Amino acid sequence: MAGLPTQAQVSAPNPLSEKTVASITFEPPDNQTLEDSAGGASRSGGFCPQDGMMEGPSVTPILPETKQGLTLSDRPTVFAYIPPTSAAQGYFIVKDKTEDYYYQTQVEIPSDGGIISLTLPPEASPLETGKTYQWSFVLACENPPRADSPRVEGWITRTEASATAMGQLPPEVSLEAASQYGKEGIWYDTLSTLAELRRSQPDRYTAAWDNFLSENGLEAIANQPLIQSIAPPSAIGH
C-alpha cells in the first residue's frame, strides 16, 4: 500500500457516539529520532509586515510538538495554518538532508486565512521508504521572498506499516482508518484522513478534527476553515 487511499470513496456514515469521536488519538512512535528543525528566523512574529498588528495565531504547521511525523504515502499531504494576509502566494518546499531530493512550487493562498493542505503532486519524485525529509512553507510577503519571510518547517519520514496494522486498516476513508493510523503513530495519514472526512461531511466529522488537533496542542487553530490550496504549474525539482 502506497499510503492514504486518497481516491477511495468516503465510507457511508454510521451512528457514532461522542466516545467514538473522541477516541481518535495519536500515539507517537517510541523510536522516532528528533531532527534539528531549527531554521532561519521569521520576522514580524510569523506575520507579513504590511498586514499590520495582528491578533491570533501566526503561520502554524499542523504538527505535534516534535514538529515531525511519519507517513505511509510516497506523495504525502502536509497542513499549515495561514492567518489573514495580503500576501497572495507562498512557497512549498520539500528536500532531504543533502538536497539530492528537492521540490519547490508556488501556491495560491486565501486572503481570509485558514488551514491549507499541500500535497506532493504526481510530477514530483516519490519519497523513499526509510528516509526523512524536511518540508517548509514560506509566506511570500513580497516577491521574491526575503530570507526572513514568515515560514514554518517540519520533518516527514516515509515508513511501512506492520502486517498486523495493515490487516486492521479499513480500505475506505473512515474514522476507523484514522484511528488505526493514530494508534500506529502515522501522523500525516491520520490528519489527511480526518481532513478528507471533514471536507466530505463537515456536519458529522468536524468535531473529530477539532478534538484531534486540540488534544495535540493545536487548539488555537483547530476550528479554522479547512481550505484546499491550488498549486500553479511552477514546480522546480530534481
105, part of any domain:
yes
78, part of any domain:
yes
4, part of any domain:
no
pLDDT in tens, 104-123: 999 988 889 899 999 999 99
> How many Cα atoms occupy the beta-carbon half-sphere of 38 within 13 Å?
1
Query: pTM of whole model > 0.85?
Result: no
Q: Which range marks the domain in which residue 72 is found?
A: 19-237
Count of domains forming the chain:
1
211, part of any domain:
yes
Q: Where are the alpha helices (DSSP H) in the chain?
A: 18-22, 163-168, 175-183, 187-200, 202-215
CATH of the domain at 112: 2.60.40.10
Distance CA 144, CA 167 (A): 48
pLDDT in tens, 180-200: 999 999 999 999 999 999 999
Specify the DSSP class assigned to residue 124: S
Q: For the chain, give percent helix, strand, coil, nearest 5.
A: 25, 25, 55
12, part of any domain:
no
1, part of any domain:
no
